[in-house]
Amino acid sequence: MQTRTESLQHTMMRVPLTLPHFLERAAKLYPKVEIVSRLPDRSLHRYTYADFYRRARRLAEALQRAGLRPGERVATLMWNHFAHLEAYFGIPCAGGVLHTLNLRLHPSDIAYIARHAQDRFLITDDVLLPLIEQLRSQVSFERIFVVPLAGAPVPAGYESYEHLLDTATGSWDYPPLDEEAPVGMCYTSGTTGRPKGVVYSHRSLVIHTLAAALPDALGLSQRDVVCPVVPMFHVNAWGIPFAATLLGCKQVFPGPHLDPPSLLELFESEGVTLTAGVPTIWLGVLEALRREPDRWKLKLRTLVVGGSAAPEAMIRAYDQLGFHVLHAWGMTEMSPLGTVSRLKSTLVDLPEDQQYAYRAKQGLPAPLVEVRAVSDHGEVPWDGKTMGELQVRGVWVAASYYGGEDPDRWTSDGWFRTGDVVTIDPEGYVKIVDRTKDLIKSGGEWISSVDVENALMGHPAVKEAAVVAVPHPKWGERPLAVVVLREGQQATAEELREFLAPRFARWWLPDAFVFVSEIPKTSAGKFQKAKLREQFRDWSWG
524 binds ligand ADP (CB under 6 A): yes
280 binds ligand ADP (CB under 6 A): no
Beta bridge partners of residue 477, listed in sequence order: 471
Which 105-144 residues touch ligand ADP, going by CB under 6 A? none
Please return the burial class of 345, using the count of CB atoms within 10 Å of its CB with bins 0-12, 13-18 and 19+.
exposed
CB of 410 to ligand ADP, least distance (A): 15
CB of 528 to ligand ADP, least distance (A): 10
Neighbours of 460 (CB within 10 A): 9
3-class SS letters over 59-82: HHHHHHHCCCCCCCEEEEECCCCH
Instruction: Verify whether residue 162 is a known catalytic residue.
Output: no
Instruction: Verify whether residue 282 is a known catalytic residue.
Output: no
Nearest-angstrom CA–CA distance, 90 and 54: 10
CB of 96 within 8 A of CB of 119? no
Q: Which member of 203, 208, 361, 435 binds ligand ADP (CB under 6 A)?
A: 435
Positive or negative, the CA dihedral 65, 68, 71, 73 is negative
Please return the burial class of 232, using the count of CB atoms within 10 Å of its CB with bins 0-12, 13-18 and 19+.
buried
CB of 307 to ligand ADP, least distance (A): 5
* CB contact set of 404 (below 8 Å; sequence gap of 6+): none
Number of chain residues interacting with ligand ADP (CB under 6 A): 22
* Residue among 165 and 199 whose Cβ is closer to ligand ADP: 199
329 binds ligand ADP (CB under 6 A): yes
306 binds ligand ADP (CB under 6 A): yes
Which 333-362 residues touch ligand ADP, going by CB under 6 A? 362
Neighbours of 135 (CB within 10 A): 21
CB of 328 to ligand ADP, least distance (A): 6
Name the catalytic one among 188, 332, 339, 423.
Answer: 188
Nearest-angstrom CA–CA distance, 384 and 357: 12
Q: Which member of 102, 332, 423, 449 binds ligand ADP (CB under 6 A)?
A: 332
Which 459-488 residues touch ligand ADP, going by CB under 6 A? none
Instruction: Verify whether residue 287 is a known catalytic residue.
Output: no
Nearest-angstrom CA–CA distance, 159 and 141: 12
Which 158-197 residues touch ligand ADP, going by CB under 6 A? 188-192
Instruction: Verify whether residue 346 is a known catalytic residue.
Output: no
520 binds ligand ADP (CB under 6 A): no
* Residue among 201 and 308 whose Cβ is closer to ligand ADP: 308
CB of 82 within 8 A of CB of 45? yes
CB of 15 to ligand ADP, least distance (A): 31
Q: Just list the catalytic residues.
A: 188, 333, 441, 446
Provide the binding-site residues for ligand ADP, judged by CB under 6 A: 188-192, 306-309, 327-332, 362, 418-420, 432, 435, 524
